């Protein structure tokens, strides 16, 4: 959410930004919110004037009563009652106008960074850099579910019976592998100086609307029936939400946090849930990184964050590339975003395994997160988030890049202390 003062003073910049995001249907909202804002400020001024007039008149009542001038006192009381009645109507209008303005401001997109490439959708995202040599072995790499089934590592049929499509049982070495990857990711980020958290897995609606757009909320979040609670789609939601309505001393910035959580997503849309696969599912686990920092430091942190993900994947011998998200592919709260994509030897292409986002002060404004500097001045910090690792997508990349021709799975050196083995072998009955 952008600053209403900025919109008021720079409507053409806001409209141009909407055009860059190919959301022309929202252009009329700028003029609409400006008109509402003018009415709101006029109403607020009238309310303040009436309150001052009421207070002034109220003070004279006691004086008239003390002098025995009861008729004069009653006359002033009547005038005060008239003011109160008018004030009640105006205050109701003020609250309504404030709500209407906020509702519109929540859907006007954040101002994107000048460096963001202009494009309509993810087909126009721009490759930034590749890391590692994307290789294709001289044997056919099996589908990821086939790799897991051959080592008795997944049970999709049972999950369909208990939960439906979009769920799975991981078992044996594959279940251990996923847990070890998450443990390694936790330690990797702790070694980078981040504080480890396990946050709440449910959050209230005011936090949801503070951290994400309405469209994303509708398409992603599961609502707990009868409760003002939603299952989180990522731990970023809880972790940014923990700062709601707080004032952070500037000396405590940056806040660098890494969090583990399960994640729950509807996955509503054309791509939907896979019948047989674990790329797009309803439930998964993730290690996240979150930063709250000074505005002038946010771009430096942005580059640091996605570089950590690249480094993590390279320690597991997985080739990756970074992809700059174009304007039309950016969620409305984001200033800038880069996806990290892993190499798929089976598909002979890269696929998304994580996303790094700079949200500027949008989440801080929505959640009223402020920073107080040494002079007592308050300002809004910037917030950033990035995926360290999100099995099972990362698991797909891991398996495809480490499977051997006989179906066994190589364990890279960095993961061996966690797995306590250097290879996952195929059971005799599956050879």
Q: Per residue in 228-244, pLDDT tens? A: 999 999 999 999 999 99
Tell me how far apart the alpha carbons of residues 141 and 344 are, in angstroms, rounded to a whole number.
9
- Say yes or no to pLDDT of 382 above 70: yes
- pLDDT reported for residue 214: 63
- Say yes or no to pLDDT of 431 above 80: no
Selection from 139, 174, 136 nearest residue 404 by Cα: 139
- pLDDT reported for residue 270: 43
- Say yes or no to pLDDT of 108 above 90: yes
The CATH homologous superfamily of the domain defined by 122-430? Bira Bifunctional Protein; Domain 2 (3.30.930.10)
- Say yes or no to pLDDT of 272 above 80: no
Which architecture does CATH list for 4-105?
Answer: Orthogonal Bundle (1.10)
Selection from 380, 379, 376, 346 nearest residue 360 by Cα: 380
- pLDDT reported for residue 268: 54
Reported as a single tens digit per residue, the pLDDT across 385-413 is 999 999 888 999 999 999 999 999 999 99
pLDDT averaged over every residue in the chain: 93
Selection from 167, 76, 163, 141 nearest residue 344 by Cα: 141
Band (278; pLDDT cuts 50, 70, 90): confident
Name the burial class of residue 144, with classes exposed (0-12), middle (13-18) and buried (19+) by CB atoms within 10 angstroms of its CB. buried
- pLDDT reported for residue 9: 95
Name the residue ranges covered by the structural domains of the chain.
4-105, 122-430
Task: Please state the rounded mean pLDDT for residues 193-212.
Answer: 94
More confident residue, 271 or 81: 81
- pLDDT reported for residue 269: 52
Report yes or no: 210 and 363 within 8 Å, Cβ to Cβ. Answer: yes
């Amino acid at each position: 959410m952008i600053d209403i003062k900025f919109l008021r003073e720079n409507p053409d910049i806001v409209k141009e930004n909407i055009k860059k995001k190919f959301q022309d249907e929202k252009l009329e909202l700028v003029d609409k919110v400006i008109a509402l804002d003018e009415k709101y400020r006029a109403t607020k001024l009238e309310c303040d004037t009436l309150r001052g007039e009421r207070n002034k008149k109220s003070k004279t009542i006691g004086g008239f009563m003390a002098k025995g001038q009861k008729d004069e006192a009653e006359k002033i009381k009547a005038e005060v009652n008239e003011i109160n009645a008018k004030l009640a109507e105006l205050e109701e209008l003020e609250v309504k106008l404030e709500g209407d303005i906020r509702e519109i401001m929540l859907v006007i997109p954040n101002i994107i960074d000048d460096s963001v490439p202009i494009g309509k959708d993810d087909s126009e995202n721009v490759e930034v850099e590749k890391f590692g040599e994307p290789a294709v072995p001289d044997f056919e790499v099996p589908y990821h579910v086939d790799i897991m089934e051959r080592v008795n590592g997944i049970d999709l049929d049972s999950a369909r019976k208990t939960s439906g499509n979009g769920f799975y049982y991981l078992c044996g070495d594959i279940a251990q592998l996923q847990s070890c990857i998450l443990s390694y990711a936790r330690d990797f980020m702790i070694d980078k100086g981040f504080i480890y958290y396990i946050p709440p897995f449910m959050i209230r609606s005011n936090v949801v609307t503070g951290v994400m757009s309405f469209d994303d909320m509708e398409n992603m979040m599961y609502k707990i029936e009868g409760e003002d609670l939603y299952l989180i789609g990522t731990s970023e939601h809880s972790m940014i939400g923990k700062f709601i309505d707080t004032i952070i001393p500037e000396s405590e910035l940056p806040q660098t946090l890494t969090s583990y959580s399960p994640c729950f997503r509807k996955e509503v849309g054309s791509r939907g849930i896979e019948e047989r696969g674990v790329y797009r599912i309803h439930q998964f686990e993730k290690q996240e990184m979150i930063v709250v920092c000074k505005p002038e430091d946010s771009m430096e942190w942005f580059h640091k964050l996605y570089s950590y993900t690249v480094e993590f994947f390279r320690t597991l011998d997985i080739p990756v590339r970074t992809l700059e998200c174009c304007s039309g592919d950016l969620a409305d709260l984001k200033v800038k975003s880069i996806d990290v994509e892993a190499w798929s030897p089976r598909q002979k292409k890269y696929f998304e395994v994580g996303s790094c986002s700079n949200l500027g002060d949008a989440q801080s404004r929505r959640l009223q997160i402020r920073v107080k500097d040494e002079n007592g001045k308050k300002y809004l910090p910037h917030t950033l988030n990035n995926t360290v690792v999100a099995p099972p997508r990362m698991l797909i990349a891991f398996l495809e890049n480490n499977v051997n021709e006989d179906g066994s799975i190589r364990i890279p050196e960095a993961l061996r202390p966690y797995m306590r083995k250097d290879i996952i072998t195929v059971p005799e009955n599956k050879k």
